[in-house]
Structure 1
Amino acid sequence: MAEQSDVPPAQDTAQTADEPKPGTLGESEFFWRDHWSWLQECGYRLRPRYAPDWVPSWEGTSKTFYHCEDGVQIRVGRIMDAIRISDNKRVALKRISKLEHPFEAEIGQFLSSGDLKTDPSNRCIPVYEILQVPDEGDEIIIVMPLLRPYNSPRFDTFGEVVEFVRQIFEGLQFMHHHHVAHRDCDDCNIMLDPTELLPSGYHPVDINKKPDLSGRPKAYTRTQRPTKYYLIDFGISRRYNPEDGPPLEYPIWGGDKTVPEFQKSDEKMDPFPTDVYYLGNLIREDFIQAKLGFQFMEPLVVDMVQDDPTKRPTMDEVVARFATIVSSLSSWKLRSRVVGRKDNAILGAYRTVTHWARRVSYIVRRVPAIPTPKS
């Protein structure tokens, strides 16, 4: 018998000629590289990684690609960050197939138009511009502000969560008033404007790092710098004509797969109560179940997530009931620290100390317990 070797065969470790080098562009990024020049002409500059003449910054050095800004690959191929050349503002570019999502651009533009654009209860992501992709009649790019997840950075106080819930409740109420059902308003489709919270910026893909990946970005609390929240992604949203009566639609599965009415039937249903369920379930899972002290919202949430959609409150009723709940909360409660049920005890002790230092400062300076942003 031949002696076994600890060294694996060479062909198992050698990189084949067809394999991409680590850190180089993935297939989902080719579109952006191929449209770099066109986007530049449209007024939008992509990161150096997508320039046609890009040479990886780590080549010929001792650095590894994951330590270099231009080594970071996008996670979702249809979403890209860019700089708007006219004012150096970071924006998001979303690539859309009009065949797959024929109403997304139309609904986004409608909710960003005329008096609706300046309505203080409008919490729908603004649409800055729509670009028709050359030589691709089916494809467009929607230009929007660059946002980040609604819970990043973490909530510091109950007052901050109350303001988040208020804005999102009123935002969905606004959509319903204008006869638009979101149909997928789960936690992935609610984001925040990071402009005030992270004024020095952050990397648009690795969002917990500075733009150059050199460390964590400086972040303020929402109480220090109030922020706005937005409903995004109208890919399966629909706008209805009230003269046609209550809308009825076949179920379309969104990100939240727990919708009771979708489990039992494939009949046409009113999509507006399903929107109410989505927000109710978000609060139930992300706050009541995941954090301590949010039982004050439980009676409302229980009604919002009832199995029978006809028994759920409308968003008008939800907003009114929530306002009553908030009016009963003390300043002490609103300024209290949000604690996760699974938070690390040592880290929690540190956060308690820093929280109290901020809390005393807020009280002395009469900073509002509920941080409402300017309109």
Structure 2
Amino acid sequence: MEYAIVKEENRHQERDDGLLFTYEEIWVRHFHFLASRGYQLRPRYNPDWVPSWRLKPVKYGSGKNEDAIPAWPKVVDAICLTNGQRVMLKHVELSSEELSIMTYVNTPAALEDSRNHCVRLMDVILLPACETHALVVTPLLYEHSALPFRYVGELVEISIQIIECLDFLHDHNIVHRDFCKFNVMVDGERLIPGGWHPFDPRAPPDGRHDKLSRFKWVDRRSTGPHAYYLIDFGYSKRLESRDGALLTGIYGQDDSVPEMSLTVPYDPYPVDVYHVGNMLLKFYGEYRPCGSLERLKEVAQKMAHKDPSSRYTAQEASKEIHRVCRKIGYFRRRQRIWPDDPIFDTFFRFLVRIGVINPL
């Protein structure tokens, strides 16, 4: 099957013109091929696309141009034509370990492990006439931090799952190397009943931000339990042993790990622990202190200790978070937490409680 051609007039020319960025052109070229494999991309990537704002006198940027919302580099959303499920496609390098690790954590044996909260691999697509890259297909998930946490139990839930996942990976000699905020997702189907736009998490599927198409969501507690997932294994490594493992390089969203270095080898396992602990500390720090959060915080502080030899191992952190969370009983998990922001005064909290407003 031949590549489709990108129209010259649809290529990005100037700032905020809503047209195709260079990194998006791959999806136009493979539009028909992916349809033949059962995956329908958005109209933006149809080779015959005519931007909607050229057809109607609506100014681009008015919030009514869904086809102006770009994908991110290497990833795009699609609809599975066999069942209508929304999915994500990612362009991965075959020279990396990303595909092999994703395949490994999705084997039947690995999926039987309750600690395995890695993103599910639905399909692998080999690209025509390409020996360097492939596409991996995963379910469409939601950015876990795009909606606020409102109860202690919600933070308990995510804390347990991500630390369990870290323990699972390390138990299989896998280091993620970027176990950070934007690589933790949640199944958002129940949280956002009307759906969301894959590349605008606070917009409905049509991408509009006007009053006629409002983005609506509900509390995690009222729709739980929720499944959180780890994504993006682009920097990940599967090592032969836990003993004597040394790597170099500064990887990931969080470069504050004290021992990471371009030249001095370090143990990557404590780096993963630091990443998760530091992420959790930031979660807890966004809310006004309370006794239950302080207990969770103590675990995260031990994970993010500056001295790697003083940190918990993933297994120790998993045991400790389970121990701490058992002490946070039913009623404490139902305790309301509020962002550490002066706007959340008594009257504002009252309006939130009775459902008059639902702030993000």
Which TM-score applies when normalising by structure 2? 0.86
Contact 1:208 1:216 (8 Å CA) reproduced: no
Greater mean deviation of Cα atoms: 24-33 or 181-190: 24-33
Contact 1:203 1:209 (8 Å CA) reproduced: yes
In structure 2, the partner of 1:373 is none
In structure 2, the partner of 1:167 is 161
Instruction: Classify the secondary structure of the residue corresponding to 1:260.
Output: coil
In structure 2, the partner of 1:364 is none
User: Are 2:327 and 1:332 equivalent residues in the alignment?
Assistant: no
Partner AA of 2:46 in structure 1: A
Deviations 1:333-375 (Å, cap 9, x if unpaired)?
A: 32122211125236x7444454378xxxxxxxxxxxxxxxxxx
Distance 2:306 2:147 in 1: 33
Greater mean deviation of Cα atoms: 154-163 or 308-317: 308-317
In structure 1, the partner of 2:151 is 157
Distance 1:239 1:146 in 2: 26
What stretches of structure 2 of length at least 5 have no aligned partner? 1-10, 356-360
Distance 1:289 1:210 in 2: 26
Per-residue deviation at 1:207?
1.8
In structure 2, the partner of 1:58 is 53
Partner AA of 1:276 in structure 2: V
Find 2:75's aligned residue among 66, 76, 79: 79
Contact 2:12 2:18 (8 Å CA) reproduced: no
Contact 1:183 1:236 (8 Å CA) reproduced: yes
In structure 1, the partner of 2:5 is none
In structure 2, the partner of 1:219 is 217
Distance 2:58 2:259 in 1: 53
Per the alignment, do residues 60 and 270 of structure 1 end up closer, same or farther by CA in structure 2, a change over 3 Å counting? closer
Contact 1:337 1:355 (8 Å CA) reproduced: no
Distance 2:297 2:201 in 1: 32
Partner AA of 2:271 in structure 1: T
Deviations 1:304-341 (Å, cap 9, x if unpaired)?
A: 11222122111121111112212222433321222111
Instruction: Classify the secondary structure of the residue corresponding to 1:169.
Output: helix
Greater mean deviation of Cα atoms: 290-299 or 28-37: 290-299
RMSD of equivalent CA atoms: 2.4
Per-residue deviation at 1:18?
9.4
In structure 1, the partner of 2:268 is 271
User: Are 2:139 and 1:145 equivalent residues in the alignment?
Assistant: yes
Distance 1:18 1:139 in 2: 25
Contact 2:52 2:67 (8 Å CA) reproduced: yes
In structure 2, the partner of 1:120 is 114
Partner AA of 1:336 in structure 2: Q
Distance 2:321 2:121 in 1: 29
Distance 1:18 1:258 in 2: 35
Instruction: Classify the secondary structure of the residue corresponding to 2:199.
Output: coil
In structure 1, the partner of 2:187 is 193
Distance 2:349 2:87 in 1: 33
Find 2:123's aligned residue among 124, 129, 132: 129
Find 1:208's aligned residue among 202, 226, 251: 202
Per the alignment, do residues 289 and 211 of structure 1 end up closer, same or farther by CA in structure 2, a change over 3 Å counting? closer
Contact 1:32 1:50 (8 Å CA) reproduced: yes
Per-residue deviation at 1:237?
0.8
Deviations 1:81-102 (Å, cap 9, x if unpaired)?
A: 0001111000001112234xx1
Instruction: Classify the secondary structure of the residue corresponding to 2:146.
Output: coil
In structure 2, the partner of 1:241 is 240
Distance 1:24 1:149 in 2: 25
Distance 2:354 2:115 in 1: 32
Distance 2:301 2:19 in 1: 49
Per the alignment, do residues 215 and 344 of structure 1 end up closer, same or farther by CA in structure 2, a change over 3 Å counting? farther
Partner AA of 2:239 in structure 1: Y
Greater mean deviation of Cα atoms: 291-300 or 168-177: 291-300
Per the alignment, do residues 296 and 245 of structure 1 end up closer, same or farther by CA in structure 2, a change over 3 Å counting? closer
In structure 1, the partner of 2:92 is 96
In structure 2, the partner of 1:177 is 171
Aligned-residue sequence identity (percent) comes to: 30
Distance 1:193 1:320 in 2: 25
In structure 2, the partner of 1:371 is none
Contact 1:236 1:252 (8 Å CA) reproduced: no
Instruction: Classify the secondary structure of the residue corresponding to 1:54.
Output: coil
Distance 1:57 1:354 in 2: 37
Which TM-score applies when normalising by structure 1? 0.83
